[in-house]
Amino acid sequence: MSDSWKVGNQGKKGLRKEIEKAVIVGLVTKDQTEVEVNEYLDELEFLAATAGAKTIKKFVQKVKHPDVRTFVGKGKLEEIEIYVQENDINLVIFDDDLTGKQTGILEEALKVKIVDRSSLILDIFASRAQTAQAKTQVELAQMQYLMPRLRGLWTHLERQRGGIGMRGPGEMEIETDRRIVRDKISLLKKKLEKIDQQNKTQRKNRGELIRVSLVGYTNVGKSTLMNTLSKSKVFAENKLFATLDTTVRKVVWGTMPFLLSDTVGFIRKLPHHLVESFKSTLDEVRESDILVHVIDFGHPQYEDHIKTVNKTLKDLDVLEKPTLMVYNKLDLFRKNTFDELLDEETKEDILKEVKERLRNNYEHDNIFISAINKENIDELREKLTKMIIEQYEIRYPYQTKTW
């Protein structure tokens, strides 16, 4: 991966030599309100922090539609330019995708690195990728992102190992660049097909067991819940896309075995080519018998997150699978919602009303827990056990199981 993709100096694994100073930019248009844009920018700031950049300022502009050349209007661009120069900013992040032409014009005008939401997410995915499959998927997504932007970008490609490289001396025509990228995309797709076949064989070998997949928005606590339910350590931290490779564990409760998988989190405005590239990883979700939809109940936009996840699940054609909705971080919900002066009875009444509303809004069964505090975990296990047994009875109707 070339330096042009990197945020936060990710040259060494797990280390960032310096935190880059960034400003982030969003547009209020007919398609997204000011409230929505501010929510998106909060998320973009978290994405930037995950990639190793500190957000110094947010710029928001109301326009009918983005400027075809500079994305923002002329006056706003001048405002950003002055701020960048006066505050030693070295990175400007836009909340929506930019064309290659826009990126080139903005880099020339602002004299700093320009990153859009998709390339920022790709950057995080690249830094998180551990396995050959994940690395190949990320590189494919990078190439697919780059392909339509070749004409507008002010840098080109050359044949370098490891994927995207900065252009060396000597000019190459745009069609040559396109051929290189097309060939690379074809090569990566073939590589992924081979990996996918190996994965299918592995899944077939464990086909007798009921499969349960943890799904949800990024950073909702899936990995923490995985650790709690499987009693085995899975990497968990307060960062976006901490889990990129699917983790599968064989779990035995009493005498009942099943497979539990922790999958990559979803996010609003997830680049289409990224979803496409990660199809083989998401096959784990497609082939699951039960979905556990984990929700960050403490997040102010948790219902928007549910919509985003459900849309992705619908795209994967798995929305109708048996699903348990797990509202995690109940402790955080209480902390964010309840005034200290409220008595316990009033708090419980408020919580009860919220629970009833959510049960009426979504057709799936649900439970409210705190994975970190182990609150209501036994009840979660009971609900999940019942669902797993039902699936075993459907699969093996004439076999008597001891559980």
Q: Looking at residue 160, what is its pLDDT?
A: 35
Q: Looking at residue 232, what is its pLDDT?
A: 63
pLDDT bin (cut points 50, 70, 90) of residue 137 is confident
The tens digit of pLDDT for each residue in 311-353 reads 989 988 899 999 999 999 999 999 988 888 888 899 989 999 9
d(CA 103, CA 153): 7
The tens digit of pLDDT for each residue in 39-54 reads 999 999 999 998 899 9
Q: Looking at residue 192, what is its pLDDT?
A: 85
Lateral strand order in the sheet of 91-94: 53-62, 20-28, 91-94, 113-116
Pairing of strands 256-262, 247-253: antiparallel
User: Among 59-63, 144-148, 182-186, whose mean pLDDT is lowest?
Assistant: 144-148
d(CA 383, CA 354): 20
Please provide the average confidence, as pLDDT, over all residues in the chain. Answer: 83
User: What is the torsional sign of CA 125, 131, 135, 138?
Assistant: negative
Beta-carbon contacts of residue 200 (< 8 Å; ≥ 6 apart): 283
Mean of pLDDT values over 63-70 = 94
Closest to 48 (Cα-Cα) out of 146, 137, 119, 97: 119
* 3-state SS class at 294: strand
Q: Exposed, middle or buried, 295 (CB in 10 Å: 0-12/13-18/19+)?
A: buried
Q: Looking at residue 212, what is its pLDDT?
A: 95
The tens digit of pLDDT for each residue in 188-221 reads 999 988 887 877 776 665 568 999 999 999 889 8
User: Which single residue is written with the structure tokens 């976006």?
Assistant: 240
Instruction: Report the percent of the chain where pLDDT is more than 70.
Output: 81
d(CA 156, CA 154): 7
Q: Looking at residue 324, what is its pLDDT?
A: 97
Beta-carbon contacts of residue 217 (< 8 Å; ≥ 6 apart): 265, 266, 267, 295, 296, 305, 306, 308, 309
Closest to 270 (Cα-Cα) out of 321, 315, 228, 233: 315
Beta-carbon contacts of residue 19 (< 8 Å; ≥ 6 apart): 8, 52, 53, 54
d(CA 320, CA 290): 10
Instruction: Report the percent of the chain where pLDDT is more than 90.
Output: 48
Mean of pLDDT values over 367-387 = 95
**60 with 94: CB under 8 angstroms?**
no
Q: Looking at residue 279, what is its pLDDT?
A: 66
Q: Looking at residue 13, what is its pLDDT?
A: 40
Higher-pLDDT residue of 314 and 148 is 314
The tens digit of pLDDT for each residue in 236-268 reads 555 555 554 567 888 999 889 999 988 878 888
Q: Looking at residue 148, what is its pLDDT?
A: 81
Beta-carbon contacts of residue 374 (< 8 Å; ≥ 6 apart): 228
Q: What is the DSSP string of 205-249?
A: HTTTS-EEEEEEBTTSSHHHHHHHHH-S-----SSTT---S-EEE
Mean of pLDDT values over 165-191 = 71
The tens digit of pLDDT for each residue in 270-309 reads 767 777 766 666 777 888 999 999 999 999 899 999 999 9
Other Cβ atoms closer than 10 A to 332: 16
Q: Looking at residue 14, what is its pLDDT?
A: 38
Q: What is the DSSP string of 260-273?
A: EEE-PPB-TT--HH
Q: Looking at residue 153, what is its pLDDT?
A: 58
User: What is the torsional sign of CA 381, 387, 391, 396?
Assistant: positive
* Residue 114 pLDDT > 90: yes
* Residue 2 pLDDT > 50: no
pLDDT bin (cut points 50, 70, 90) of residue 167 is very low
Beta-carbon contacts of residue 120 (< 8 Å; ≥ 6 apart): 7, 44, 47, 48, 51, 93
CA torsion angle 153 155 159 161 (round to 10): -100
